[in-house]
Structure 1
């Protein structure tokens, strides 16, 4: 109460605890010996009606009442239904009319009453009697009354217009003869059924007061109210329709006076009697501690929703109960678990502790898919894979991943499989069906929905949707230089197309968390390759995977798996964490076959491979020291002798292929010789080394203008021919035409005549020039052909091709006449003889040092 002001009414009538605003206004009016309407006009509220004020006060009404009565605006609002709007009652925001409430059809525009309370409080009406959930007086243990026993109408709480002041506790309903003539029946004497102190009706009212009327959380009150209302309506109809009811239902009817609930034309009646009976049954059905809970709940399930076709399928029957809310529906789903198909059990999670009706949309499914690889993680496949199954493990893992998109959604299996890229759902599903047939589906229908729910509630550090868009065996970036260095360190062959292909495949698999593609079986070659993967290659793949992620600016771990702690079910099968990792590594070091290693660890082959994938432990064959090749000289001699190797490789910086040419052996033999001599291999030249060593002008002159071959230039520079051709492409130097051959005289550093330059770019020009010089010393072509061991036609053909390239006749021929050398032919033959002699001298010269580059750019 505020302090007394000049505006305030001198006479003070305080409101009773929990009293409604219109009841307090009427009590104030009686104290002043006027009607309620006269009192509000006196306060300055002409045209207002207490019936509307008790629903919600306008700002003007509140600002007027507060200073005149001494109550705060907050106290005045607490006496209205405003705080229950949208939860228990529905008040129109414009005209304050009462709409249909969320539960029952007691709108709140009239009030129930307890005769004893009216007598004790001199006709003061609590606000709670207007609420549809108030059906019993817990103080006097009476069922509330809805109507006046005399006139049969709901008694008004306040008076309007002019007339005599009202008497407390009497019916103020106006008779048909006039507004001023009221019923006047003393409501304090109305008959009301007494309720048992320990009965279900009073217990239900206490539960409603606590869980609906007394809670401050609107959402919880609305959910609980909807749940009780749906069950209560089914109970009221079931009492009439079903042949028998549980004994506790009969006890409730007896407690309420023994009469059956009345049925309205289109709906159940909403008086206090019906509300009490239905709510008491609903509270028992939802109280898991009550001994009759399951019996009453089962009885309610046998009732039928009006105007809805009956169905024998479990989920169709359950859908009728969706208005009752999630707790009722989830309980029904658990009860229907044995009637559902495998997919339905997954979709609704009926085998878990928290089954639920699907409520996720397409966007939710796509978000979950972004947290899922196309194949379920290996540690979880280890837990879920049935024992003694011949199903393809890859297909089983793909099916499990696809099935994880179904819980809580209305998606079907092919749609979910396609979203993950498992575009062969039939084969994957066949693998799953085989596994389920052999061992049952209990583990899958328990674990997969729980894991899906955990995925929805936890952040995942990998966006698998993005990885599926970016990576494939053809799109991953692989550092072949790093791979070749690794091969050199271990003495492996680096140019092995099958191994490189499998490395690309394994790199994509590591990034995707699943086999690339959609096959239901992992290719045997890739499976064996991964099992035998060398630790160096395993480390290289992880480094390359991290580099691919960094190249796309992706800050994610290479791989990840959900922890087992996400699932609290004690029945979760054990995973790979139960395997002794040190024992696994110890046995794998001997490189056993998968079946042998699985036997040592007490596993089957499939689980062994899943454990290998989870831990990253592989079983490569131990390196066998091969005995010396038969006939090999020990110690090595000549070019491959340790001192000679040291001089050539370390001091003169010869490359391995150059030493191999000098020794007449393979590069691998040179590498073994270096290893035996204890000579460390040089590191690969840094990137860009060749570009800094030669200029574009020099390379263009040697390759394009002189016509030298890329192997010839590579030998001079001490690099590979691929490195030379890479610079040719990078610098835009024209390549040799496919019909043109390299100039064999380019390395002699001598000028060629135009005719010789043209001949030097033709096929087999050295052989043909040698034959030409021999032919010039004979009388006829037949004689020259006999010495050279070729036919006359072959020799004649070669001569014509040289003359065609040179552009003039060199030797005039005939089948029987002697050969005649022309003047131009003589000069050409002299040049050819000189060039061939220089070429022979170069070949027989001892190559002790590397040729010097023509030009160097520092």
Structure 2
């Protein structure tokens, strides 16, 4: 038969959803030719019609569309390549392999609905080839897998001349009959099909799968995994399935168990497995939870003959390695209550469960985003409302910080996540965690905080702050603090108050309480509650100044927002649950922290944490009314009469009174103020009465002593000594001894050796003895001549030689000066003569 070369003589449009090979075979039957002859005319020689279901190249598609007067895109949708493009089938068969890693598509074979074949004249839809098609929605029955005639998958078409075969509804598989291979030719429209209830679960499951196919949803992959796992569970544990599983069995298989735990090629097994898989995928329904839990328990019982509580998380996940992340998450969530706390955090089982996937570098980045202890508001939420020692609370906060670094970490050991006092933190967690529900709240909260920190970050780089700021490196402006105290009428306080202010300043910068000795913890906690709001604001300004000094543009304080965690049943109290008005009313009456906590139904530590989180603290006491005075008069050395007498006599010594009365210096100053005794005026700065140049000239060059300089300028020698140290002038060890020759008129310049000797104690007397030593028989004779002891003379000579750094007298008989000593003896004689002449003129 010959046709025109531009198009086929008859137009046969494909049916909706028909496969390409079925359409080619129908076209060939309509033209009374073979599919091979038709394809040869279409310019596609060497391609079998049964292979067209897989793919057709773009050029061949266009040629086929032009000759058959059809749309090329419509023809492409009639092949399995369109399904593979949507990631529903991982791969098409290559080199004769028809088994994909997951769903097994049928390829050249097909399931079929006998009623549909009878209605459409033997035309085969593409959907019957898909691995997830098992029911006919139109005729409400299961699809048939095998031809009753040859009891094998039906072969749809043949490449030979059709001859008397007029329908595509016959099985064309070659079978052996009477020693000859011949086509089966069984009429497939007469095959019985198992009916399904119209409102049953199987048809609903097929409809659900169809919707997933239309949208190209990747959920088909984990449905396949769950389908096989459901069939496997039925085979392993046939009498433990939930009632919903039995319902699916009765509907799809007459209540009989499938004969293979793995193969989904049969429509009945596929219907059962898919129905159960869809149920197990439903995390919201009770049926879905029951089916999935049945799958987990069956798997655990099969692998290890132990209870579920004895299985580690790795053992539980051993057989779920190829499952989708969603399924793995549900397995981890199911194991949540049976896992240790650290493992729950690493697998995030209480919130967002999944396998640990964060490297050491990821955890290091998170460590820089969080302070060394959990933020106050989140500690307030997680701390149970029971009385707990403050040191235990500190350990709990630091432990929460280290646990926060475990969330999602591949490794459980990080040097920056392991605190040095791990034993204290472990004991603190044991004392704080009161119930499994409390532990779940902690795990869920820390997991969600860690997830948001990784995704959204933190505006504060705590790692940099820990590197920059220490108790020695922070700066507190004491002048501004003093001015604030004067403006508000507060006592400035002593060293203890300054130490506490520096502690709070460092705590603001580091985002956590700085370390304090145990004896100071009570004072620290009281200060957290009683620090005036203005003082807190001053410290925040000082913290901002310290940050600006290092060119850091960050907020001083920050905490993760409340919406980062969806937990609501807190073991403690959320800040938003505490009434601000009630709290302000209580602290306005200057109630203690214990009384405020009792009135609010909280613990004292919750009240202090609330102050840390919100900045609301106790206001300062009101100034006393004029004339109110003290309720108890002061006695002893603090009695106003005694203080007035001591002031008028000039014997008032505040430090002595404080030591004698066993009180602080501020208490003595308050007593003086109450007695109406004016404060001692602040002395005039020494820098106004002596300049640095004058002090250096007198002390360094003229080598006068500090007391002599103080007497010369009319200054206090102790304050002058402090001023010299402040100006960086090095103080001599014997700074109280002056150069006796410095005050001589027209004093000559001294040699280096004489300048060193001039600051030796009693240097004039010793020099007079030195100049008389040369010519003496020995030191003993010289001592008798000078009227002193030989040991004393020997000691004084050694002291002069040590100061000069040279030997002055040769120990010979008679004694003789060394060359250097001769020059120094002559210089000493000259200076002594000048000194004697000066003293004679004064007399």
Partner residue in 2 for 1:281 = 276
Task: Please tell me whether the aligned partners of residues 200 and 280 of structure 1 are also in contact (alpha carbons under 8 angstroms).
Answer: yes
TM (norm. structure 2) is: 0.73
**Contact residue 39 and residue 45 of structure 2 kept, 8 A:** yes
Q: Which moved more, 1:420-429 or 1:626-635?
A: 626-635
The equivalent residue for 1:44 is: 43
1:276-306 CA-partner distances (Å, limit 9, x unpaired): 1221233334446777545544544443379
Match of 2:416 in 1: 419
> Could you say if the C-alpha distance between residues 742 and 520 of structure 1 is closer, same or farther in structure 2, counting changes exceeding 3 Å?
closer
Distance 1:738 1:764, change over 3 A: closer
In structure 2, distance between residues paired with 1:271 and 1:489: 90
Match among 385, 388, 391 for residue 386 of structure 2: 388
Tell me which residue corresponds to 1:87.
Answer: 87
User: Which 10-residue stretch deviates more, 149-158 or 759-768?
Assistant: 759-768
| Structure 2 partner of 1:848 | none
- Deviation of 1:432 (Å): 1.3
1:462 and 2:460 correspond = yes
Do 1:228 and 1:324's aligned partners in 2 also have CA atoms closer than 8 Å? no
Matched, 1:226 2:227: no
1:601 to 1:137, Cα distance in 2 relative to 1, 3 A:
closer
In the alignment, what sits opposite 1:659?
none
Counterpart of 2:504 in structure 1 is 506
Partner of 1:135: 134
What is the CA–CA distance in structure 2 between the aligned matches of 1:89 and 1:723, rounded to whole Å? 89
Alignment CA distance shift 1:116-1:715 (3 Å): farther
- The correspondence of residues 270-349 of structure 1 with structure 2, limited to 5 A, is 270-287=265-282, 292-304=287-299, 308-314=303-309, 315=313, 316-317=315-316, 320-321=319-320, 323-325=322-324, 327-331=326-330, 336=335, 338-346=337-345
1:564 to 530, 553, 562: 562
Match of 1:753 in 2: 748
Pairwise mapping of residues 25-36 of structure 1 onto structure 2 (< 5 A)? 25-36=24-35
Superposition deviation, residue 136 in structure 1: 0.6
Aligned partner of residue 38 in structure 2, secondary structure:
helix
User: Displacement of 1:583 after TM fit?
Assistant: 6.0
Q: How many residues align?
A: 756
Superposition deviation, residue 385 in structure 1: 1.3
Q: Which moves more between the two structures, 447-456 or 272-281?
A: 447-456
Given candidates 236, 239, 250, the residue that maps to 1:243 is 239
CA deviation string 1:571-623 (max 9, x = no partner): 23532344455665676577765435544655422122212222334558758
Deviation at 1:797, TM superposition (A): 7.8
* Per-residue deviation, 1:748: 7.7
1:196 aligns with 2:173: no
- Relative to structure 1, the CA distance from residue 476 to residue 194 in structure 2 (aligned partners, 3 Å threshold; closer, same or farther) is same
- Please say which of residues 583-592 and 276-285 is displaced more in the overlay: 583-592
Residue 188 of structure 2 is matched in structure 1 by: 187
Deviations 1:416-458 (A, max 9, x none): 6x53462212211201111124895454345444444444454
Q: Partners of 2:604 and 2:547 in 1: how far apart?
A: 32
The alpha-carbon distance between structure 1 residues 188 and 679, as it changes in their structure 2 partners (threshold 3 A), is: farther
Deviations 1:217-260 (A, max 9, x none): xxxx3334414532454235415642354454444334335273
The answer to whether the 8 A contact 1:89-1:107 is kept is: no
Identify which range, 33-42 or 701-710, moves more after superposition: 701-710
Instruction: Give the superposed CA RMSD.
Output: 5.4
How far is 1:128 from its partner?
1.2
CA contact (8 A) 2:575 2:610 kept: yes
Q: Is the 8 A contact 1:103 1:132 kept in 2?
A: no
Tell me, in whole angstroms, the C-alpha distance in 2 between the residues paired with 1:158 and 1:489.
Answer: 103
* Alpha-carbon offset, residue 753 of structure 1: 2.6
Question: CA-to-partner distance for each residue in 1:516-556, whole Å, 9 max, x for gaps?
Answer: 46999984454455455465653443233223333444322
Match of 1:575 in 2: 574
Between 195-204 and 237-246, report the one with greater CA deviation.
237-246
Does the CA-based 8 Å contact 1:236-1:277 persist in structure 2? no
Residue equivalent to 1:780? none
Is contact 1:450-1:567 (8 Å) kept? yes
Aligned to 1:12: 11
> Hey, what's the Cα distance between the residues in 1 that align with 2:578 and 2:6?
86
Structure 1 residues 600 and 437: alpha-carbon distance in aligned structure 2, compared to 1, 3 A threshold: closer
Give yes or no for contact 2:231–2:258 (8 Å, CA) kept in 1. Answer: no
Partners of 1:166 and 1:172 within 8 A in 2: no
Q: Equivalent of 2:433, from 418, 432, 436?
A: 436
Q: Evaluate the alpha carbon distance shift between residue 522 and residue 558 of structure 1 in structure 2; reply closer, same or farther with a 3 A threshold.
A: farther
5+ residue gaps, structure 2, are 631-637, 651-664, 769-787, 810-827
Counterpart Cα distance in 2 of 1:746 and 1:64? 124
1:479-504 C-alpha deviation (Å, 9 max, x unpaired): 56656766787899999666555544
The alignment's TM-score, normalised by the length of structure 1, stands at 0.72
Q: Distance in 1 between matches of 2:469 and 2:333?
A: 42
Most deviating of 794-803 and 59-68: 794-803
Structure 1 distance, partners of 2:195, 2:639, is 109
Q: 1:76 to 1:598 in 2, by over 3 A?
A: same
Measured in 1, the distance between the counterparts of 2:839 and 2:71 equals 123
Matched position secondary structure for 1:90: coil
